[in-house]
Amino acid sequence: MFEQGRPLSATEHALFQPYYQRHTLYKVRIIENKVPFWLRKDMCAVVLGHRIFFRKNAYQANTSQSLELLAHELTHVEQYLTGMNVFKYIWASRYGYRQNPYEVEAYAKGAYVSAQILAGRRANSV
């Protein structure tokens, strides 16, 4: 469970560099095809500290869904690195997952970042 994981690829780093703190992008580790036993079956990823665990085939680099998923999870890594911990997260979930302010931020930033990246790709292909 405590594998080192891989750092962001050069491509991933370049895509997300405008939107996340440098420290976050260098600290994060990606662990693919392995999640904690307790992760709900309908969830495809979880962040523990600076490690992002992806369920098998959940992250396919360069797809729009995966860009949004990675942006969402990078937001959680940034939250951990700036003071969030499991206890704060659980307390923030007392009114439900979708009302958790950490999730609200992660969903919003994930959608924003992926939209910006995709818009940039479309503009560059014209």
Q: What averages of pLDDT result for each successive group of 10 residues across the chain (126 residues)?
A: 84 96 97 91 93 93 90 98 96 96 98 94 67
Beta bridge partners of 30: 6, 52
Q: Is residue 1 included in any domain, yes or no?
A: no
Instruction: Quote the pLDDT of residue 2.
Output: 58
Instruction: Quote the pLDDT of residue 115.
Output: 95
pTM: 0.92
Instruction: Quote the pLDDT of residue 62.
Output: 77
Task: Count other C-beta atoms under 10 Å from residue 68's C-beta.
Answer: 20
Backbone angles phi, psi at 112, to 5 degrees: -65, -50
At 109, list the tokens: 């930033």
How is residue 29 annotated by DSSP?
E
Q: Is residue 124 included in any domain, yes or no?
A: no
Q: How many independent structural domains does the chain possess? A: 1
Q: Is residue 49 included in any domain, yes or no?
A: yes
Q: Characterize the bridge pairing of strands 45-48 and 29-32.
A: unpaired
Q: Is residue 76 included in any domain, yes or no?
A: yes
Beta bridge partners of 29: 51
Q: Is residue 123 included in any domain, yes or no?
A: no
Instruction: Quote the pLDDT of residue 87.
Output: 96
Give the total residue count for the chain.
Answer: 126
Instruction: Quote the pLDDT of residue 121.
Output: 74
| Unique residue bearing structure tokens 């999640």 | 35
Cα 100 to Cα 23, 96, 104, distances in angstroms = 25, 6, 6
Structural domain containing residue 31: 6-118
Q: Is residue 126 included in any domain, yes or no?
A: no
